[in-house]
Structure 1
Amino acid sequence: MAVTDEAIQRIKGMIVSGALRPGDRLPKESELAAELGLSRNSLREAVRALSLIRILDVRQGDGTYVTSLDPQLLLEALGFVVDFHRDDTALEFLAVRRILEPAATGMAASRISEAELDALERRLEALGDEASVEELAAADLEFHRTIVMSAGNAVLGALLDGLSGPTTRARVWRGLAQQDAVGRTLHEHRAILAALRDRDAEAARSWATAHVAGVERCLRTTTAALG
């Protein structure tokens, strides 16, 4: 194991064991290096690596702290990473989304508030039937984010939010490739919304599956044509 990797594992061990808790300040570099039996250079590299993935927060002139370890914070890097993948790899992310998002939508059926449903309906009406592809993509992203976050599972919400990078581009391509994309998307959104209003988890799951599958089919067709 590389020295830096070993240092990362030792700091991780302190967090997992509870020796360091969310919000705690790490001991001084010299003290922590001695405690863990590491060189200050390897410790410094480990801290830098853990700060990049939002485990640690380095505050200049103050010290280094364990972050809140909130799932949304820790999974932010996922969205950054997936944006660098190829179009064909985006299909794999969409496949994962097709598994997870219907489950989250079904969970939301019993948890989403009437106020949230009313807000979603107002946004759909404001979008109208003549929305541009860019407006449609942005509205679609916000529509699903609101529903997923209302499901009450922060980890699931963070995972799906991280998958939105490549799938947002897929929605744009869908709009460019299919003339009826706006009408179809609005129809599917309204069907999902109606199922949520009825507190019908099965119908909500089914419509969410059909919606994501449509985006996936479009991207698959586009990728094949470009290839």
Structure 2
Amino acid sequence: MSDPAPNEDARHAAKMAKKKAARDKIMATKEGEKGLIIVHTGPGKGKSSSGFGMILRCIAHEMPSAVVQFIKGAWQTGERTLIEENFPDLCQFYAMGEGFTWETQDKARDIAAAQKGWEKAKELIRDPEIKMVLLDEINIALRYDYLDIAEVVDFLQTEKPPMTHVVLTGRNAKEELIEIADLVTEMTLIKHPFRSGVKGQKGVEF
């Protein structure tokens, strides 16, 4: 009985060659570059983690970048420690928040912190030397109307330098922000250990 493997290998190679040709054809039409507005939202875990992953890519490519944290400022997270201790020349880091809104229980203070963070964010985004700005958890500040969504949208559309990437994270992203974004990813929650009584752990949550 003959071995069918050679025929299977040939069919697989032909299939992959066809896929590659189709992919190459698509890629040939993609020539432009632009600074992107990127939104990570949804109830699932990974929004900030993904944003910091892109910041680390920028650092690896020696592209100046910056982070403004709107909520988790009271936490000494692993990514903050890594960046501040090892890459301060490539990534500016500003922790502007004082914790989650249910921890501060002071709306006026939360609004003031969010406004201060937004002013710093605008300063960083306006700097054409900075190639990516991560606005971590800004969607929470927008959700509670601590910031004016119309002002944020207008700024991103009119003042962001053409080649600057801006990443905005946090659940419940406003529709106005989603509308102007170039890339929107929604993290879907399927399972989370917190629901089984497991607390947030170092290296996973922070």
Normalising by structure 2, we get a TM-score of 0.25
Instruction: Name which structure has the greater RCO, CA cutoff 8 Å, separation 6+.
Output: 2
Higher strand share: 2
